[in-house]
Amino acid sequence: MEAIKLESVTLEYKSHNNGIVRAVDNVSLSVNAGEFIALVGHNGSGKSTLAKLLNGLLIPRLGDVQIYGVSTRDKAKIFEIRKNIGMVFQNPDNQMIASIVEDDIAFGPENLGIEREEIIRRVEWALTKVNMLEHRKSTPFKMSGGQKQRLAIAGILAVKPSIIVFDESTAMLDPEGRREVLAVAHELNKNENITVILITHYMDEAINADRVIVMSRGRIVTDGTPERVFAQKDMLESLHLSLPLPTSIAYNLSKSGLDISENILSESQLEEALCKVLK
Amino acid sequence: MQGIEIKNLSYTYSKKTPYEKLALDDVSLSINEGDFIGILGHTGSGKSTLILHINALIKAQTGSVKVMDIDLTQKRPKPDLKRLRTEVGMVFQYPEHQLFDDTIEKDIGFGPKNLKLPADEIKQRVRESMELVGLDYNDFKDRSPFDLSGGQKRRVAIAGVIAMRPKILILDEPTAGLDPEGKEHILTLITRLKAEISPTVIVISHDIDEITRFATRLIVFNKAKIAFDIPMTELFKHEKELVAMGLEVPLAVRVARSLRSKGIELEGNITTPHDLENAVVDYYNKKHFDDKLNSPTNSVSITSNIKNNASGENLSIAYSDNSSATPNDNTISEKEVLR
């Protein structure tokens, strides 16, 4: 089933000297329900604009964005879309509104007019999903970045979306926080069948996605499995994007003449390949 | 003295309240002029509290802090904090949040202006600082710093700090939140600033793979104390401690350890991906050479030239063998073509 559909979407911004920057340039894209997609590209490539187009925070100038067949231009249905597609942003501090964890998580469903018993159930379920249930009565302000970000995710889960967009949600976190958030994203994708769009700068976070989409200058440059995308080293380099570290080591070794596959993404694959070639 | 001398420094936040937290516990440390230091540690391990002391943004509760010839803990006469803050340049986390003026030139010139330098000197410093961080003076000076990309904003903020010409430069998470290209810019910039402006550089980072690329000395904080303080090349010896503290171990160190545990004895100190690549190529060639030794060609010395793409340099490895089984004068030089 098609969860997200973009048809020739174009959107421009005004730049500082009244010029026009085409942030998203004639992009067409289709995402099936249950997919885990990593969206990568350098700053200004249009990936965050694309994210904001998905839930109708921005409306395209040309083309159409549809979430489960509903266009974001349809003002009467915009709340239905926003219920369906949750966003987790970069800075966790900007996403907390209440001083007690469970109040914060309940904010979304409360606004939807859901009855109290159901809200309590959802808060508990959402906090369990992100491993934060024990903190339900605490205050978010003294928590680590990773914990806050998981609360932000729980707040979104409580609205029961079928799609979650992570817009560089790991960029401000330390390695531990990054791991926590990433694990939650994969868990939700696998066990709750939530469609995930993970926007990131860290190539290492993209290796476990079903699909990697690379954007540059508002266009989709390539779209495929991680193996296929990260095999295109020269293309990625020309876009100033790095390879995942294990891939880059394998690539350099292969250039030095070692018989090592270039299709290496993870650390364990690298180890295995090195063992084979050195044994 | 041009460095920093810290002795028995302890610091407790919110003393005598239920939120009391020991942030530094009897820390002693000396930093020499010319050091390139990476500081690693968990959130709350004390690393930020330490650098706040170096700039006298918090006062030592017990112990002493001396920066160059300024004794920050001396009572009378009071330490010259104005001079201290000229000598020590501090780039905080997300320094772009501190941009405030309406043009880039004014923003960068703010510090020098407060030093009451003559106008042409200020202009000169702004121009130089902008060129250093890679922003063309004429193109950018009249633009608003708020119209720039994240990476550019950060470079403007750093230019504002280096316009003071600090002898010691401290950067807290300088690449956080930047894309790979922005990160590269900042890392290259830091190395350049060390060479041209500030001989002593201290960088706090969460990213161990990033720290290993530039710093030559590594200080790891854990639970308000210095867990270890080592030359970067000895990092691999401390893998277990890093893991125990829940800190990241560089990928190259992990892979090298795993290969060694499987009997593949890679040689040398492996910290960076580059070290790993070289060690793997060396090992591969050596094994190849050993195979040759056992073969009837009886080659004793093989010079293999491997184009090493990681460094872009030619790496020449010469193996000489003293085995008595082969005559010494029978030296064959051959260009190894691998694969």
Any chain B CB within 8 A of the CB of A14? no
Among chain A residues, the shortest Cα distance to B93 is held by A172
Residue B43 is encoded by which pair of tokens?
């959130």
Tally C-beta pairs within 8 A across A and B: 105
Residue A117 is encoded by which pair of tokens?
């018993």
Query: B259 vs A275: CB contact, 8 Å cut-off?
Result: yes
Please check whether residue A107 lies inside any domain of the structure: yes
Chain A residues whose CB is inside 8 A of the B179 CB are 42-43, 201, 240
Closest residue by Cα to residue A267 from B254, B213, B278: B254
Distances (CA, A) of B161 to A207, B171, B232: 38, 10, 27
Lowest mean pLDDT among A51-60, A208-217, B245-254: B245-254
Count of structural domains within chain A: 1
Long-range contact set of residues A15-20: C-beta below 8 Å, sequence gap at least 24:
A15/B147, A16/B143, A16/B144, A16/B147
Please check whether residue A173 lies inside any domain of the structure: yes
Question: In which residue are the tokens 């289709």 written?
Answer: A30
Among candidates A252, A257, A270 on the partner chain, residue whose Cβ is nearest the Cβ of B255: A270
Write out pLDDT tens, residues B25-84.
999 999 999 999 999 988 788 898 999 999 999 999 999 999 999 999 988 889 999 999
Share of chain A above pLDDT 70, in %: 100
Distances (CA, A) of B152 to A56, A168, B126, B163, B236: 29, 19, 15, 16, 35
CA A184 to chain B, closest CA, distance in angstroms equals 19
Mean pLDDT across the stretch B269-278? 91
Test mutation, A230, A252, A265, chain B, max B CBs within 10 A: A252
Lowest mean pLDDT among A215-224, A239-248, B49-58, B255-264: A239-248
pLDDT confidence tier of residue B336, bands split at 50, 70 and 90 = very low
Instruction: Answer whether A270's CB lies under 8 Å from A246's CB.
Output: yes
Chain B residues whose CB is inside 8 A of the A172 CB are 176-177
For residue A162, the one-letter residue type is S
Please check whether residue A54 lies inside any domain of the structure: yes
Question: Does the pLDDT of residue B23 top 70, yes or no?
Answer: yes
Strand ranges, E, within chain A: 2-14, 20-32, 36-40, 62-67, 70-71, 85-88, 163-167, 195-200, 211-216, 219-224
Cα separation, A2 vs A67, in Å, equals: 8
For residue A90, the one-letter residue type is Q
Question: In which residue are the tokens 């954007």 written?
Answer: A215
Write out pLDDT tens, residues A91-113.
888 888 888 999 999 999 999 99
Please check whether residue A149 lies inside any domain of the structure: yes
CA A53 to chain B, closest CA, distance in angstroms equals 20
Residue A134 is encoded by which pair of tokens?
């024990």
CA B187 to chain A, closest CA, distance in angstroms equals 14
C-alpha B197 chain-centroid distance: 16
pLDDT at B311: 41
CATH numeric code, B4-249: 3.40.50.300
Tell me the average pLDDT of chain B.
84
In what helix (H) or strand (E) does residue B39 lie, and over which residues does it extend?
A: strand B36-41
The domain segmentation of chain B, as residue ranges, is 4-249
Please check whether residue A93 lies inside any domain of the structure: yes
Query: A257 vs B251: CB contact, 8 Å cut-off?
Result: no
Question: In which residue are the tokens 């041209």 written?
Answer: B196
pLDDT at B207: 85
DSSP assignments along B161-228, one per residue: HHTT--SEEEEESTTTT--HHHHHHHHHHHHHHHHHT-SEEEEE-S-HHHHHHH-SEEEEEETTEEEE
pLDDT at B45: 87
C-alpha B226 chain-centroid distance: 17
Chain A residues whose CB is inside 8 A of the B246 CB are 176
Check which CATH number belongs to the domain holding A141 and give it: 3.40.50.300
CA A248 to chain B, closest CA, distance in angstroms equals 9
For residue A204, list its beta bridge partners.
Answer: none
pLDDT at B295: 59
Question: Does the pLDDT of residue B315 top 60, yes or no?
Answer: no
C-alpha A275 chain-centroid distance: 34
ipTM exceeding cut-off 0.90 for this assembly: no
Cα separation, B42 vs B10, in Å, equals: 18
Instruction: Answer whether B132's CB lies under 8 Å from B161's CB.
Output: no
Lowest mean pLDDT among A61-70, B144-153, B221-230, B291-300: B291-300
pLDDT confidence tier of residue A177, bands split at 50, 70 and 90 = confident
Please check whether residue A257 lies inside any domain of the structure: no
Query: A259 vs B207: CB contact, 8 Å cut-off?
Result: no
DSSP assignments along A166-201, one per residue: EESTTTTS-HHHHHHHHHHHHHHHHHS--EEEEEES
pLDDT confidence tier of residue B333, bands split at 50, 70 and 90 = very low
CA atoms within 13 A on the CB side of B224: 12
Query: A271 vs B258: CB contact, 8 Å cut-off?
Result: yes
pLDDT at B202: 96
Chain A residues whose CB is inside 8 A of the B276 CB are 249
Mean pLDDT across the stretch A253-271? 89
Structural domain of residue A55, as residue ranges?
2-243
Residue B44 is encoded by which pair of tokens?
């709350």
Share of chain B residues as helix, strand and coil, in percent rounded to the nearest 5: 40, 20, 40
pLDDT at B313: 39
Please check whether residue A182 lies inside any domain of the structure: yes
For residue B64, list its beta bridge partners.
Answer: B7
Please check whether residue A276 lies inside any domain of the structure: no
Cα separation, B93 vs B158, in Å, equals: 11
Q: B113: helix, coil or strand?
A: helix
pLDDT at B337: 38
Residue B276 is encoded by which pair of tokens?
């790993």
Instruction: Answer whether B10's CB lies under 8 Å from B65's CB.
Output: no
Angle between helical axes of A245-255 and A267-278 (0-180°, round to 10): 30
Closest residue by Cα to residue B115 from B161, B83, B67, B92: B83
Any chain B CB within 8 A of the CB of A238? no
Residue A9 is encoded by which pair of tokens?
């979407």
For residue A18, the one-letter residue type is N
Query: A258 vs B310: CB contact, 8 Å cut-off?
Result: no
Query: A278 vs B143: CB contact, 8 Å cut-off?
Result: no
CB atoms within 10 A of CB B273: 21
Tell me the average pLDDT of chain A.
91
| CB proximity list for B118: less than 8 A, separation 6 or greater | none
Write out pLDDT tens, residues A181-197.
999 999 999 999 999 99
DSSP assignments along B45-88, one per residue: SSHHHHHHHHTTSS--SEEEEEETTEETT--SSPP-HHHHHHHE
Test mutation, B221, B280, B306, chain A, max A CBs within 10 A: B280
| Ramachandran area for residue B165 (φ above 0: left; ψ -120 to 50: alpha; else beta) | left
pLDDT at B293: 66
Question: Does the pLDDT of residue A263 top 90, yes or no?
Answer: no
Phi, psi angle pair for A254, to nearest 5°? -65, -35
Q: Which residues of A135-149 are buried (b: 16+ CB within 10 A; e: fewer)?
A: bbebebeebbbbbbb
Long-range contact set of residues B149-154: C-beta below 8 Å, sequence gap at least 24:
B149/A43, B149/A44, B149/B182, B150/A43, B150/B96, B150/B177, B150/B178, B150/B179, B150/B182, B151/A43, B151/B178, B151/B179, B151/B181, B151/B182, B151/B185, B151/B186, B153/B96, B153/B99, B154/B94, B154/B95, B154/B96, B154/B178, B154/B182, B154/B186
CA B80 to chain A, closest CA, distance in angstroms equals 35
Among chain A residues, the shortest Cα distance to B150 is held by A43
CA B129 to chain A, closest CA, distance in angstroms equals 23
* Higher pLDDT pick, B337 / B227: B227
Write out pLDDT tens, residues B190-213.
999 999 999 999 999 888 888 988
Cα separation, A134 vs A25, in Å, equals: 45
Mean pLDDT across the stretch B294-308? 45
Among candidates A174, A249, A271 on the partner chain, residue whose Cβ is nearest the Cβ of B259: A271
Instruction: Answer whether A152's CB lies under 8 Å from A95's CB.
Output: yes
Q: B77: cis peptide before it, omega within 30°?
A: yes
CA atoms within 13 A on the CB side of B170: 24
Instruction: Answer whether A144's CB lies under 8 Å from B43's CB.
Output: yes
